[in-house]
Amino acid sequence: MMTFRCEKCNFCFESVGEREEYISPTYGPCFKYVARCPACDNICNEHRINLKKSDKGSCGCSNCSCGS
Ligand SMILES: [Zn+2]
């Protein structure tokens, strides 16, 4: 299971996700995991907590223990 965060309604949820492949102009063929928000049906990216140190604790989500 992975954690996803909806940017639309700020809802965090866990899902197995779906692998989505795409071509990056910089890195070539890549893939990421996406999942559909159970609250609003928006396609969400994986919620990476430690992506940048400055982002740590900035989730603002009340639904998970993101470290905020
Ligand atoms: Zn949502």
Q: What phi and psi values does residue 53 have, to the nearest 5 degrees?
A: -65, -35
pTM listed for this prediction: 0.63
**% of residues, the chain, pLDDT over 70:** 71
**32-62, pLDDT tens digit by residue?**
999 999 999 999 999 876 544 444 455 666 6
| C-alpha 63 to ligand 1 mean position (Å) | 12
**3-12, pLDDT tens digit by residue?**
999 999 999 9
pLDDT of residue 56: 46
Domain ranges of the chain: 2-55
Chain centroid to Cα 36, Å, comes to 10
11, 5 Cβ separation under 8 angstroms: yes
**21-33, pLDDT tens digit by residue?**
999 999 999 999 9
| C-alpha 36 to ligand 1 mean position (Å) | 8
